[in-house]
Structure 1
Amino acid sequence: MTKKNAIFFSCNERFLFTLCVALLSLKEHNAKLLQNTDVLIYQQGFSEEDKAFVNQILPCKFTEYKFAVETDFNNINFKHFTQLTFARYEIFDLLDTYAKVLYIDVDVMIGGDLSYIFDHFGSKGGVAMCKDTQKGLTLITKNFVKPLPQYDMTVPCYNAGVTLFCDNIPHRQELRMWCYHKTAEWLDNLVCPDQGVVNVMLQQFHVPIEVLPDICNCLPSNPKYLDKDRHDVLIYHCAGGGVRFWTYTYNAPWQKYYQQYLALGGRPHTDKEHAWLKLIKKHNWQRFDFFERSPDPQMHPMRFLKYVLAWPFKYVRRKLSK
């Protein structure tokens, strides 16, 4: 019997709203894919009402998650990231059931058909990720307080926020518990905890990495992230927290899905919005093309200046292309 594929999210009740946005955008762009692809949600703190609410959007399979080994759960990495960031380790065993599992962080918006990822990646080495360019740091040392002398710290870092795992990964049966034990062992030395462990795992077990194009995990450091002229981005990912869709600036595509979530009866988020976003919404400036996806001038003054200078040319080009 041919194994199905799956899409994997992990979430607590705090981020239920952005999980729902991710699912609404997934549903809009992936009707055919979802006919034969399970949606798996590993969760903590969901009520039965929360699960029923999510299932209004898409039928999902829920699993209550628990970190697999004893460790210091008061460590800053568990406070900042929560246990759920490590739920991706469970995917190695899920590959007994599924051929390919696409892990996606919940702070995303899906912009296209994810069949491209399933169809074109994973057959060579079993793992596919995009290179990580956040904050101008590109090597795996960014994931650790101090380098690990037993590993090569000069190799590229891959962003774990979107990862394709396939059932042909070498040494797959060993990987789940290896990742858990190394997380506990290195806990005080980890900065981007799950990402650091997964990147080192690639070295330890000689797992060939396939590099996804940046449209599969478009990060805020990527010029495509706020570019209204791009229509090829498959996954927008507001990694890092500072430029979240719901707090940074007005993002019309994300707001569309968020309004759908609220219309279904979802609870509004309570995160503090940037002054820039508050100003745009207060004066309804989002109706003007300039303000939609405009960088926050207080947080990113040079990015805003570049936007101001380039906007007239891009605006005219968009008008002429219609």
Structure 2
Amino acid sequence: MSKKNAIFFSCNERFIFTLSVALLSLKKYNQELLKNTDVLVYYQGFTQADKDFLNRILPCKFTEYHFAVETDFNNINFKHFTQLTFARYEIFDLLDTYRKVLYIDVDVMIGGDLSYIFNNFGDKSGVAMCKDTQKGLTLITKNFVKPLPQYDMTVPCYNAGVTLFCDNIPHRRELRMWCYHKTAEWLENLVCPDQGVVNVMFQEFGIQVEVLPDICNCLPSNPKYLDKNRHDVLIYHCAGGGVRFWTYTWNSLWQPFYQEYLAMGGKPHTDKEHAWLKWIKKFNLQRWAFFDRSPDPQMHPARFIKYVLAYPFKYWFK
């Protein structure tokens, strides 16, 4: 019997609302895929009621997560990112059970059929990721306070927010614990902790990365992210903190899923909204297409001016 595929999320109680949006959007566009693909959720802090709620959206297989080695859990890298960012290391052992596992961060919205990723990537090298272009920093040195002299810091960085791991990845049985031990060893030197470790792992074990197109992990730095004419983006990922779907600006793609979550009895998020989003909601400006995904003029004034100048030509005079 051939092995199934899986989609992997990790989440704590604070981000149940955005995991719910991810699951609702996954369900909308992936009915056929989900017939033979397990949804795995590694968690900390969930109650049984939380798990029951998420299962109402999609049947999930839940596993309580524990960091695999002793380390300093008061370190800033655990306070800022939480232990759950390292749950992806568990995927290497899960490949005993699954043929391919697609790791997806929870601060995402699914926009299309993810079968494209499973069907077209991973068979050659065992791993597929998008290149990282956040803030114009494209090399793996961005993940470290100080460069690691034993590795080449000038190679491209791959964004860990969406990663396809396959059971043919070289040295698979060594990878899980190597990642845990290096995380503990390098903890004070890590900026993007899991991403730094995984990118160096490729060098250590001579693993080639198949490059996913940017529609598979569309980041806020990507022009496609705010382009209302795009209908091919498979995963929108609000990596970068400030440009979150729920706090930055009105996003007409994300809002219906969030409203569906609330209608199911989900708790509203408690994150502070930008003044720009508050203003849009206060005056019901979201009814005008201009304000949908409009850049925050206070946080990104240059981006907003460019948006204002380009808007008539891009969306009115089509």
Q: Normalised by the size of structure 2, how large is the TM-score?
A: 0.99
Secondary structure, in 3 states, of the residue corresponding to 1:186?
Answer: helix
Count of matched residue pairs: 318
Aligned to 2:256: 256
Secondary structure, in 3 states, of the residue corresponding to 2:106?
Answer: coil
Aligned to 1:314: 314
Aligned to 1:177: 177
Q: Percent identity?
A: 84
Aligned to 1:15: 15
Aligned to 2:216: 216
Aligned to 1:73: 73
Aligned to 2:84: 84
| Residues 130-170 of structure 1: CA deviation (Å, up to 9, x unaligned) | 00000110000000000000000000000000000000000
Q: Provide the C-alpha distance between the structure 1 equivalents of 2:126 and 2:15, rounded to a whole number of angstroms.
A: 29
Q: Provide the C-alpha distance between the structure 1 equivalents of 2:91 and 2:296, rounded to a whole number of angstroms.
A: 37
| Residues 181-209 of structure 1: CA deviation (Å, up to 9, x unaligned) | 00000000000000000000000000110
Q: Provide the C-alpha distance between the structure 1 equivalents of 2:258 and 2:46, rounded to a whole number of angstroms.
A: 19
Secondary structure, in 3 states, of the residue corresponding to 2:73?
Answer: coil
Q: Provide the C-alpha distance between the structure 2 equivalents of 1:131 and 1:139, rounded to a whole number of angstroms.
A: 9
Let me know the Cα RMSD of the aligned residues.
0.6
Q: Normalised by the size of structure 1, how large is the TM-score?
A: 0.98
Secondary structure, in 3 states, of the residue corresponding to 1:279?
Answer: helix
Could you tell me which amino acid in structure 2 is paired with residue 140 of structure 1?
A: I
Distance 1:235 1:317, change over 3 A: farther
Which consecutive unaligned segments of at least 5 residues does structure 1 have? none
Q: Provide the C-alpha distance between the structure 2 equivalents of 1:108 and 1:162, rounded to a whole number of angstroms.
A: 10
Aligned to 1:284: 284
Report how far residue 240 of structure 1 moved. Answer: 1.2
4+ residue runs over 4 A deviation: none
Q: Provide the C-alpha distance between the structure 2 equivalents of 1:101 and 1:91, rounded to a whole number of angstroms.
A: 7
Aligned to 1:196: 196
Q: Provide the C-alpha distance between the structure 2 equivalents of 1:242 and 1:234, rounded to a whole number of angstroms.
A: 21
Which consecutive unaligned segments of at least 5 residues does structure 2 have? none
Indicate whether 1:275 and 2:275 are aligned: yes
Report how far residue 317 of structure 1 moved. Answer: 4.6
Alignment of 1:1-322 (within 5 A): 1-317=1-317
Report how far residue 73 of structure 1 moved. Answer: 0.3
Q: Provide the C-alpha distance between the structure 1 equivalents of 2:292 and 2:183, rounded to a whole number of angstroms.
A: 40
Report how far residue 3 of structure 1 moved. Answer: 0.1
Q: Provide the C-alpha distance between the structure 2 equivalents of 1:316 and 1:247, rounded to a whole number of angstroms.
A: 27
Secondary structure, in 3 states, of the residue corresponding to 1:225?
Answer: helix
